[in-house]
A and B are shown apart, each in its own frame.
Chain A
Amino acid sequence: MTDSKYFTTTKKGEIFELKSELNSDKKEKKREAVKKVIASMTVGKDVSALFPDVVNCMQTDNLELKKLVYLYLMNYAKSNPDMAIMAVNTFVKDCEDPNPLIRALAVRTMGCIRVEKITEYLCEPLRKCLRDEDPYVRKTAAVCVAKLYDINAQLVDDQGFLEQLKELLSDSNPMVVANAVAALSEMNEASITGSPLIEMNSQTINKLLTALNECTEWGQVFILDSLANYSPKDDREAQSICERITPRLAHANAAVVLSAIKVLMKLMEMLPTDSDFVTTLTKKLAPPLVTLLSTEPEVQYVALRNINLIVQKRPDILKHEMKVFFVKYNDPIYVKLEKLDIMIRLASQANIAQVLSELKEYATEVDVDFVRKAVRAIGRCAIKVEQSAERCVSTLLDLIQTKVNYVVQEAIVVIKDIFRKYPNKYESIISLLCENLDTLDEPEARASMIWIIGEYAERIDNADELLESFLEGFHDENTQVQLQLLTAIVKLFLKRPTDTQELVQQVLSLATQDSDNPDLRDRGFIYWRLLSTDPGAAKDVVLAEKPLISEETDLLEPTLLDELVCHISSLASVYHKPPNAFVEGRPGLRKSLPARNENTSASNVPQAAVIPAPQESLIGDLLSMDLTTPAVVPTSVQPPSVDLLASGLDSLLTTSDLPAASSSNTGLLGDIFGFTPTPVSYSPPKQLWLPSENGKGLEIMGTFSRKNGQISMDMTLKNKAMQPMSGFAIQLNKNSFGLTPARPLQVLNPLLPTASYETSLPLATTGLVQRMEPITNLQVAIKNNIDVLYYACIIPMNVFFIEDGQMDKRVFLKTWKDIPAENEVQFTLKNVLCNTEAIVLKMSQNNVFTIAKRHVEGQDMLYQSLKLTNGNWVLNELKIQPGNPNITLSLKLLAIEVAQGVFQAYDAILHS
Chain B
Amino acid sequence: MSASAIYILDVKGKVLISRNYRGDIAPNVIEKFMPLLMEKEEEGSLTPLLQTEECTFTYIKCNNLYVVSTTKKNANIMLVFVFLHKIVRVMNEYFKEIEEESIRDNFVVIYELLDELLDFGYPQTTDSKILQEYITQDGHKLEIQPRIPMAVTNAVSWRSEGLKYRKNEVFLDVIESVNLLASANGNVLRSEIVGSIKMRVYLSGMPELRLGLNDKVLFESTGRGKSKSVELEDVKFHQCVRLSRFENDRTISFIPPDGEFDLMTYRLSTHIKPLIWIESVIERHAHSRVEYIVKAKSQFKRRSTANNVEVVIQVPMDADSPKFKTTVGSVKYMPEQNSLVWSIKSFPGGKEYLMRAHFGLPSVENEETEGRPPIQVRFEIPYFTTSGIQVRYLKIIEKSGYQALPWVRYITQNGDYQLRTN
B76: chain A residues within 8 A (beta carbon) = 221, 225, 255, 259, 569-570
What is the distance, in angstroms, from A820's C-beta to the closest C-beta of chain B?
A: 13
Stretch at the interface among B14-22, B218-226, B335-343, B403-411: B14-22
Query: Which B220-251 residues have a C-beta within 8 angstroms of A?
Result: 233-239, 242-244, 246-247
What is the distance, in angstroms, from B248's C-beta to the closest C-beta of chain A?
A: 9
Pairwise interchain contact A111-B148, C-beta atoms closer than 8 A: no
Among B72, B81, B183, B190, which residue has the most Cβ atoms of chain A within 10 A? B81
Pairwise interchain contact A44-B236, C-beta atoms closer than 8 A: no
Query: Which A508-537 residues have a C-beta within 8 angstroms of B?
Result: none
Query: Which A60-77 residues have a C-beta within 8 angstroms of B?
Result: 61-64, 67-68, 71, 74-75
Pairwise interchain contact B15-A298, C-beta atoms closer than 8 A: no
Pairwise interchain contact B122-A222, C-beta atoms closer than 8 A: yes
What is the distance, in angstroms, from B263's C-beta to the closest C-beta of chain A?
A: 10
B181: chain A residues within 8 A (beta carbon) = 326, 328
A334: chain B residues within 8 A (beta carbon) = 46-48
- With contact pairs A222-B122, A252-B236, A329-B418 given, residues A7 and B243 touching in the complex (Cβ less than 8 Å): no
| A904 interface hit (Cβ, 8 Å) | no
| A685 interface hit (Cβ, 8 Å) | no
Partner of A31, one of B74, B139, B242, B418: B139
Query: Which B160-189 residues have a C-beta within 8 angstroms of A?
Result: 179, 181, 183, 189
| A135 interface hit (Cβ, 8 Å) | yes
What is the distance, in angstroms, from B297's C-beta to the closest C-beta of chain A?
A: 22
| B322 interface hit (Cβ, 8 Å) | no
Pairwise interchain contact A63-B140, C-beta atoms closer than 8 A: yes
Pairwise interchain contact A216-B108, C-beta atoms closer than 8 A: no
| B60 interface hit (Cβ, 8 Å) | yes
| B107 interface hit (Cβ, 8 Å) | yes
Proximity bits, A289-306, B CB within 8 Å = 1, else 0: 011001011110111001
Tell me the number of A-to-B contacts counted with CB atoms below 8 Å: 266
- With contact pairs A112-B23, A582-B56, A857-B28 given, residues A302 and B157 touching in the complex (Cβ less than 8 Å): no
Residue on A nearest B39 in the bound complex, by CB: A821
Interface size of A by CB at 8 A reads 115
Query: Which B52-99 residues have a C-beta within 8 angstroms of A?
Result: 53, 56, 60, 71-79, 81-85
Q: How far is the CA of A108 from the CA of B101 in the complex (A)?
A: 30
Q: How far is the CA of A248 from the CA of B246 in the complex (A)?
A: 11
Pairwise interchain contact A101-B107, C-beta atoms closer than 8 A: no
| B364 interface hit (Cβ, 8 Å) | no
A175: chain B residues within 8 A (beta carbon) = 152-153, 157
Pairwise interchain contact A328-B153, C-beta atoms closer than 8 A: no
Query: Which A72-110 residues have a C-beta within 8 angstroms of B?
Result: 74-75, 78, 99-101, 104-105, 108
Pairwise interchain contact A258-B78, C-beta atoms closer than 8 A: yes
Interface size of B by CB at 8 A reads 97
Pairwise interchain contact B153-A250, C-beta atoms closer than 8 A: no
Partner of B190, one of A291, A297, A326, A572: A326
Pairwise interchain contact B77-A574, C-beta atoms closer than 8 A: yes
Residue on B nearest A354 in the bound complex, by CB: B189
| A235 interface hit (Cβ, 8 Å) | no
Partner of A67, one of B112, B237, B243, B264: B112
Q: How far is the CA of A367 from the CA of B44 in the complex (A)?
A: 9
| A557 interface hit (Cβ, 8 Å) | no
| A450 interface hit (Cβ, 8 Å) | no
Residue on B nearest A578 in the bound complex, by CB: B74
| A134 interface hit (Cβ, 8 Å) | yes
B45: chain A residues within 8 A (beta carbon) = 369
Q: How far is the CA of A556 from the CA of B384 in the complex (A)?
A: 48
| A246 interface hit (Cβ, 8 Å) | yes
A559: chain B residues within 8 A (beta carbon) = none
Pairwise interchain contact A252-B153, C-beta atoms closer than 8 A: no
Residue on B nearest A176 in the bound complex, by CB: B153
What is the distance, in angstroms, from B194's C-beta to the closest C-beta of chain A?
A: 6
Pairwise interchain contact B82-A254, C-beta atoms closer than 8 A: yes
Residue on A nearest B75 in the bound complex, by CB: A571
Partner of A186, one of B1, B78, B106: B1
Pairwise interchain contact B120-A111, C-beta atoms closer than 8 A: yes
What is the distance, in angstroms, from B314's C-beta to the closest C-beta of chain A?
A: 9
| A637 interface hit (Cβ, 8 Å) | no
Stretch at the interface among A35-43, A269-277, A781-789: A35-43
Pairwise interchain contact B28-A247, C-beta atoms closer than 8 A: no
Pairwise interchain contact A324-B370, C-beta atoms closer than 8 A: no
Pairwise interchain contact B1-A361, C-beta atoms closer than 8 A: no
B126: chain A residues within 8 A (beta carbon) = 216-218
B104: chain A residues within 8 A (beta carbon) = 2-4, 7
Pairwise interchain contact B22-A150, C-beta atoms closer than 8 A: yes
Among A7, A64, A858, which residue has the most Cβ atoms of chain B within 10 A? A64
Partner of A298, one of B60, B79, B370: B60
Q: How far is the CA of A658 from the CA of B370 in the complex (A)?
A: 59
What is the distance, in angstroms, from B139's C-beta to the closest C-beta of chain A?
A: 5
Residue on A nearest B111 in the bound complex, by CB: A71
A146: chain B residues within 8 A (beta carbon) = 120
Partner of A288, one of B16, B115, B234: B234
A583: chain B residues within 8 A (beta carbon) = 72-74
A62: chain B residues within 8 A (beta carbon) = 139-140, 142
Pairwise interchain contact B125-A570, C-beta atoms closer than 8 A: no
| A677 interface hit (Cβ, 8 Å) | no
Q: How far is the CA of A75 from the CA of B114 in the complex (A)?
A: 14
Q: How far is the CA of A446 from the CA of B84 in the complex (A)?
A: 46
Pairwise interchain contact A294-B194, C-beta atoms closer than 8 A: yes
B78: chain A residues within 8 A (beta carbon) = 254-255, 258-259, 299, 302-303, 306, 569
| B259 interface hit (Cβ, 8 Å) | no
Pairwise interchain contact A247-B243, C-beta atoms closer than 8 A: yes
Pairwise interchain contact A134-B148, C-beta atoms closer than 8 A: yes
Residue on B nearest A221 in the bound complex, by CB: B79
| A432 interface hit (Cβ, 8 Å) | no
| A33 interface hit (Cβ, 8 Å) | no
Q: How far is the CA of A246 from the CA of B234 in the complex (A)?
A: 13
A358: chain B residues within 8 A (beta carbon) = 189
Residue on A nearest B101 in the bound complex, by CB: A4
Pairwise interchain contact A185-B1, C-beta atoms closer than 8 A: yes
Q: How far is the CA of A82 from the CA of B205 in the complex (A)?
A: 52
Residue on A nearest B107 in the bound complex, by CB: A3
Pairwise interchain contact B247-A246, C-beta atoms closer than 8 A: yes
Pairwise interchain contact B77-A302, C-beta atoms closer than 8 A: yes
A254: chain B residues within 8 A (beta carbon) = 78, 81-82
Query: Which A276-330 residues have a C-beta within 8 angstroms of B?
Result: 287-288, 290-291, 294, 296-299, 301-303, 306, 323-324, 326, 328-329
A150: chain B residues within 8 A (beta carbon) = 22, 24
What is the distance, in angstroms, from A794's C-beta to the closest C-beta of chain B?
A: 28
Q: How far is the CA of A226 from the CA of B3 in the complex (A)?
A: 17
A100: chain B residues within 8 A (beta carbon) = 147-148
Q: How far is the CA of A213 from the CA of B60 in the complex (A)?
A: 30
Q: How far is the CA of A112 from the CA of B5 in the complex (A)?
A: 12
Proximity bits, B398-422, A CB within 8 Å = 1, else 0: 0000000000000000001010100
Q: How far is the CA of A252 from the CA of B15 in the complex (A)?
A: 32
| A189 interface hit (Cβ, 8 Å) | yes
Pairwise interchain contact A251-B148, C-beta atoms closer than 8 A: no
Pairwise interchain contact B420-A361, C-beta atoms closer than 8 A: yes
Partner of B120, one of A6, A105, A147: A147
A574: chain B residues within 8 A (beta carbon) = 49, 77
Among B45, B74, B101, B247, which residue has the most Cβ atoms of chain A within 10 A? B74
Other than A74-B20, A323-B189, A364-B372, give 4 A-B pairs with Cβ distance below 8 A: A42-B17, A67-B111, A247-B246, A298-B81
Can you give 11 contacting A-B residue pairs, CB < 8 Å? Answer: A3-B104, A42-B17, A61-B145, A104-B148, A108-B115, A114-B23, A139-B153, A324-B269, A328-B418, A570-B74, A582-B56
Pairs of residues from A and B, 3 with the lowest C-beta to C-beta distance, nearest first:
A287-B234, A2-B105, A247-B243
B residues near A (Cβ < 8 Å) are: 1-2, 15-17, 20-24, 28, 44-49, 51, 53, 56, 60, 71-79, 81-85, 101, 104-109, 111-112, 115, 119-120, 122-126, 134, 139-140, 142, 145-148, 152-153, 155, 157, 179, 181, 183, 189-190, 194, 233-239, 242-244, 246-247, 262, 264-265, 267, 269, 368-374, 416, 418, 420
